[in-house]
Chains A and B, each alone.
Chain A
């Protein structure tokens, strides 16, 4: 707590006013409105809203398509986060040496962070293009299997996972490298003298010491893959083929803005809100307990 404070009756309120105004008008009002709207559905002519209680939620909870979206979202996020981080950590651990030119490598790793998910998606869309893309062309020499994402849902999922990982990978790698460089060599040497092999040393010392970095990157990638990949799905796959890449945020947007089922979309928003609250709470508990800083 600061001891030195300024005395002024109205100034502090004036200072927080802009932040509070935006917060209340654009965060709290819509959030409460989502709650309210989720209890209604539009009349057949769309001219008025009819109160239906928990009807939208009941409909969601028996909609197999919605459950598929939940599965798709978690699979997508798990692939981007876990696979992305595991490979980054592996490479960082292998590349952990006192070498020159780290600053240059850092620059060459960090730039993809600046690319919009939608733009990354457009580039990977062409790489995966069934007729002209370089990837299906190369694969055609290995197997006769048609890697056509227009037709095969799992290829479409791999496509958006690849685009998402591409954007995040260098960033993850750079942070792991920095985290590893910050681990005092003496600790590892001591373990080495005690007879611990490289794999043992990694799991007993390196990995626990890296937990703050892992925690930070995990949260960042999870949030990114859940909430910031809307543009990727919208621009590239439109949730398809079928519903193979219809992640939760995309479905909520589509039902609201294309299907014009405002109440149904609002109910999905409310469930997403609960998810965010659970994740945030878990995050803070985890940050308190498990992470060695």
Chain B
């Protein structure tokens, strides 16, 4: 439930990349479309621009009225200050470890179980399938206290294990790979068997290369999810040096009794938001393409 996006997303994403001819329209429709899209893009960009502008200002600039909407001179100072104040280096490293481990781990675990479900007949297969399916209905928010207790019984509080392993089960990923493997022609596995390849050789040399686009697509979604997740790292970490960047920023938000150093806050926000946004922009083509592949 909490992560239905990749599969269902594939449907709409297939259309996202499709370029079927639109109807011929009156000449005005083109300029109107451009105008609407440009305005949308600008309105969406404004908060980010504003955050960036604030992150370059002095405290006096930040608190002056009318609000100053042009970049100022304090960029380096603010970023250095934000970096030092919350030990941003460590936080970003933690976020990178979590996001990468969750993405890679989920992909690996889902790939293996999908492979087992599609290419083997074994006792209890139906049960396994349903157990995986039911996890869709059990996202972290519906088992907050109990999951913490499990982590604490395992001694995983404040560890990378606790931050990553519990998030690695993925019904969505499993279904995605299952669906993809089912579209593979039988002749592929037959050919592999004729060549004397065992199941693992077949997985490694045949299926894996063909699954690249799906893996890339899942990677983008899962990396962003892992980087941005808030509730889970908040629950399983207590020590500041084990927190992730998204949570670390909480202590930089000026509360009522504090100096309104929003320039430092925004510098931190820019640093934290950039990695997942870059991943989306850079891997966008893979993201869209990968999801289309699963629909064929």
Q: Which residues of A contact B (CB under 8 A)?
A: 2-6, 8, 11-13, 15-16, 18-20, 22-31, 33-34, 37, 91, 94-99, 101-102, 105-120, 122-127, 129, 131-134, 137, 150, 166, 169-170, 173-175, 178-186, 188-189, 212-213, 215-217, 219-220, 223, 227-228, 230-231, 234-236, 249, 252-253, 256-257, 262, 265-266, 269-270, 272-273, 276-277, 279-280, 283, 293
Contacts and interface: CB of A to CB of B under 8 A. Distances in A.
A131 B122 contact: no
Given A33-B146, A117-B228, A13 B122 contact: yes
B205 interface: no
A27 B144 contact: no
B231 A230 contact: yes
A120 B230 CA distance: 13
A102 B116 CA distance: 41
A189 B26 CA distance: 12
B41 A133 contact: no
Interface in B53-69: 54, 62-63, 65-67, 69
Contacts of A150: 256
B8 A219 contact: yes
B109 A19 contact: yes
Contacts of B229: 231
A180 B29 CA distance: 14
B42 to A, nearest CB: 9
Contacts of A31: 138, 142-143, 146
A279 B30 CA distance: 40
B66 A137 contact: yes
B142 A119 contact: no
Contacts of B272: 116, 119
B180 interface: no
B1 A223 contact: yes
Contacts of B113: 15-16, 18-20
- Give the bracket for the number of chain B residues in contact with chain A: 35 or more
B199 interface: yes
A114 B276 contact: yes
A129 B132 CA distance: 45
Nearest to A36: B146
Given A216-B8, A231-B246, A132 B230 contact: no
14 contacts: A2-B118, A12-B125, A19-B170, A106-B284, A120-B47, A122-B249, A131-B63, A132-B67, A132-B260, A137-B66, A178-B17, A220-B8, A269-B144, A280-B1
Given A19-B169, A37-B146, A227 B23 contact: no
B131 A20 contact: yes
Given A273-B138, A277-B137, A189 B235 contact: no
A116 B20 CA distance: 33
Contacts of B54: 126
A126 B67 CA distance: 11
Contacts of A253: 141, 144, 231, 235
A252 B144 contact: yes
Nearest to B197: A6
Contacts of B67: 132-134, 137
Most chain A CB neighbours (cut-off 10 Å) among B21, B33, B165: B33
